Structure 1
Amino acid sequence: MAQQPRPSKPAAPEKQPTDLLSARAGAHRPTGFFDKPGVRKFVRNRTGMASLMVISLFVIVAVAIAIPPHLISLDQVQSRVGPGTQPGFGLASDPYSRIEVAEFFLGEVEKALDSSEPEAALAELRFAERSVKAMSVEDVETALDSGYEAFDLLDEVLIEFEDAEIEVEELEDDGAEAAELADARAAVVAARAEFDTALLALETEVDKLFPRPTGWDAFVYKLRLFAGTDRQGRSIAFRAIYSIKTATQIGMVTALFSIIVGAVLGGAAGFFGGLVDHAVVWLYSTLSSIPYIIWLIVIAFVFRESDWKVPLLGKPVSQTLIPVYIAFSVTLWVGTCRVIRGEAMKIKSMDYIQSAVSIGASPFRILIRHVLPNVMYLLFINFSLAFVAAIKGEVILSYLGLGVPGGQPSWGVMIRDSKEDVVLGVFWELGAATLMMFILVYAFNILSDALQDAFDPKHVG
């Protein structure tokens, strides 16, 4: 009998290329947060990332101010750095402003010398990084006398300079000859040079009493005076920077509360429907029927008149930011609630929601595990919108005297305090507050657009 051929052993499969194996393994590897299409699209958005960096910088500054050691303390913000309404933003001080500064410092030294304890008064006399030079009372008196002598000399020179200018104007009105006008104008130039020399001599005498800071103190002092001073002689730059903390604090608290309440109520209304939906719709429709600004004013005013003390803080509620938080939180959740309600009504008809219902998942679990996570991108967008609305609302309330309590800086308080200065052409306090608010609000507007482009299913591609 013929022997049957033995079956040949199957050939070993060829080894797959390493890159193909890696590709297959990668196909089953769970994707991380930064691998999601929306996140990748947002990271590629340069304007969105730039706005996020700007917002992060503001938040870092706010945190550095809030926690010790404070970047800027409230005492530094409230302390006087010099005479009031000094120009800022690189505008050169006119001679009369420079005279006012010199007269201010000389007058403060004179007040200290006239006190009952001149040594102690001189030791405590300090304007930001500038303080009286350490020397005896007699030496201070001598330096002060020299300063006033320079001031008197400057006064005489100033009179001569003004008389020379008046003479030129009179000659021009009378139609004087060219030679006579030339001599008069030359006298004005000479008088101006003498005036500048006398003014410089006066400032030198003042610097002997109040030496200008050096090193790091010089940088901080220049930063204080960068945006000028307000009517009380306080640093506008420090007030504007410190107000970042106030704006961030109000925006964060109210925006977080608004999106949480809006997401829960809107998600419940859209998912459960029925009586829950009717109750939520009635609530936000009632709130929406009253103008937004009216709600803010009424709520803030009610709490401003209350004497109730906050237990943990130990001070009246009117001296805290709680009225501002409540005024914004009561109104800002409505927009989030409407958006989430509409999205939840669409999501609950999806197949994966129906599958969860069929396997017996509780409605509350479906809402928390499936509905709300799928509207998270809307919460990001509404958070930025609520943050911006809170900042702008604070400005309105503070301008009306119902916002941030007295003594605490904010951009709204700065704008309110500058309304009389603007008429006189003093715009630096208004300009500093408006500039800082514009940067933060504009950054949040760009961020909200970038988030919508990245995470909205209509835009993701």
Structure 2
Amino acid sequence: MTALASYRLRLPPASVVVAGLILVTLLVLVIFAPLIAPIDPRNVSSYSLSDMEIPPAFMTDGDPRFLLGTDNQGRDLVSVILYGLRISVVIGMGAVLLAAVLGVILGLIAGYFGGLIDTILMRVGDILVSFPTILVALLIAGIARAQLTPAMVANWAPAIVIGAIAVNEWVQYARTVRAAAMVEVSRDYVRAAKVIGLPPLRIMLRHILPNVMSSVMVIATINLAGAILTEATLSFLGAGMPATYPSLGTLIRIGNEFLFSGLWWIAVMPASVLVILVLAVNVVGDYLRDRFNPKLMAR
């Protein structure tokens, strides 16, 4: 392979660059949503019912004050979508982080100790992945709603959704880390660390974990899109975020009630943002997966 061809392989395709720019832009909007949003949709005094159901500004009956129109409560859709995007991204990142931490810990334990511990952990993982993620999340969300009061469900809704998604997603991290840990345990530097009497926790954290983090980061990037979609599905079905936490899925569910009455923008606008977000994350995740794939790097 020539030097020029090798250099071209290191450059990301144009689609990845565009997806990365879109993803960075959306993350900036998420961080600075309170400063960018024209109104605070959580503050009832910031919007008026007289502005309800106004079409987007580019339509004939649109209002220049509302770029994407307003919903059935008179809230500016730009503001509502920014806050909804913020909640969806936070929920998705929280679920991925929780699943990654749990999966890395269990994967290290299974790969390092092996034996009965490895068998039990992997069989539990096999049982969990035999059920669809959305089904497990619906089950956990339903149990939480049945056991907690409505006020507690509203307050703890983000934590419930994060836990419901992470319960079924840690298995992929655990399997990847376990396989890598089993390879590292057989290497001489780990054997030497055992011989000199280093405790297992230190060996796992200082010697094995750094060698598996690249794979964990790639998996986390790819799974982020799935976590965001799972949260949107739960919220659309009414088992996710309540109206007090208007995520993109909640906004789509609300807009779906008015979709066939001509108020299409209430559902289409947040749905479009969700599609763009998931597509950008998937493109970047696929690139990172290929970029850190040892077989492709060897070629």
TM-score scaled by length of structure 1: 0.57
Separation in 2, partners of 1:408, 1:318: 8
Separation in 1, partners of 2:90, 2:272: 19
- Tell me which of 13, 24, 34 is aligned to 1:56: 24
Does 2:56 correspond to 1:84? no
1:304 matched to which residue of 2? 145
Cα distance change of structure 1 residues 43 and 238 upon mapping to structure 2, 3 Å threshold? farther
1:278 matched to which residue of 2? 119
Query: 1:228 is paired with a residue of what secondary structure?
Result: coil
Does 2:154 correspond to 1:318? yes
Residue 308 (structure 1) shift:
6.2
AA at the equivalent of 1:316? M
Separation in 1, partners of 2:284, 2:155: 33
Residue 281 (structure 1) shift:
0.9
Confirm or deny: 8 A CA contact 1:239 1:409 kept in the other structure.
yes
Separation in 1, partners of 2:140, 2:86: 23
1:424 matched to which residue of 2? 261
Separation in 2, partners of 1:249, 1:397: 15
Separation in 1, partners of 2:9, 2:160: 36
Residue 80 (structure 1) shift:
2.8
Query: 1:248 is paired with a residue of what secondary structure?
Result: helix
TM-score scaled by length of structure 2: 0.84
AA at the equivalent of 1:44? L
Greater gyration radius: 1
Does 2:102 correspond to 1:266? no
Question: What do the CA deviations read for 1:99-133 (whole angstroms, capped 9, x no partner)?
Answer: xxxxxxxxxxxxxxxxxxxxxxxxxxxxxxxxxxx
1:294 matched to which residue of 2? 135
1:329 matched to which residue of 2? 166
Query: 2:294 is paired with a residue of what secondary structure?
Result: coil
Residue 403 (structure 1) shift:
0.7
AA at the equivalent of 1:45? P
Identity of paired residues, percent? 30
Separation in 2, partners of 1:77, 1:389: 36
Separation in 2, partners of 1:300, 1:42: 45
Please list, as runs of the form range in 1=range in 2, the aligned pairs for 1:206-285 lying within 5 A after superposition. Answer: 222=64, 225-285=66-126
Does 2:20 correspond to 1:44? no
Please list, as runs of the form range in 1=range in 2, the aligned pairs for 1:15-414 lying within 5 A after superposition. Answer: 44-46=11-13, 47-65=15-33, 71=37, 73=40, 74-75=42-43, 79-80=47-48, 82-88=50-56, 90-93=58-61, 222=64, 225-307=66-148, 316-320=152-156, 321-414=158-251
Confirm or deny: 8 A CA contact 1:77 1:242 kept in the other structure.
no
Residue 233 (structure 1) shift:
2.5
AA at the equivalent of 2:226? A
Separation in 1, partners of 2:79, 2:36: 13
RMSD of Structure 2 on Structure 1 (CA) = 2.8
Confirm or deny: 8 A CA contact 1:77 1:235 kept in the other structure.
no
Residue 355 (structure 1) shift:
4.1
Greater alpha carbon shift after TM alignment, 426-435 vs 48-57: 48-57
Separation in 2, partners of 1:230, 1:264: 45
Q: Structure 1: give runs of 5+ residues left out of the alignment.
A: 1-39, 99-220, 310-314
Greater alpha carbon shift after TM alignment, 403-412 vs 45-54: 45-54
Does 2:295 correspond to 1:454? no
Confirm or deny: 8 A CA contact 2:31 2:86 kept in the other structure.
yes
Greater alpha carbon shift after TM alignment, 444-453 vs 361-370: 361-370
Separation in 1, partners of 2:44, 2:184: 53
Residue 89 (structure 1) shift:
6.1
Greater alpha carbon shift after TM alignment, 273-282 vs 72-81: 72-81
Q: How many residues align?
A: 288
AA at the equivalent of 2:11? R
Separation in 2, partners of 1:358, 1:41: 46
AA at the equivalent of 1:241? L
Residue 358 (structure 1) shift:
4.4
2:4 matched to which residue of 1? none
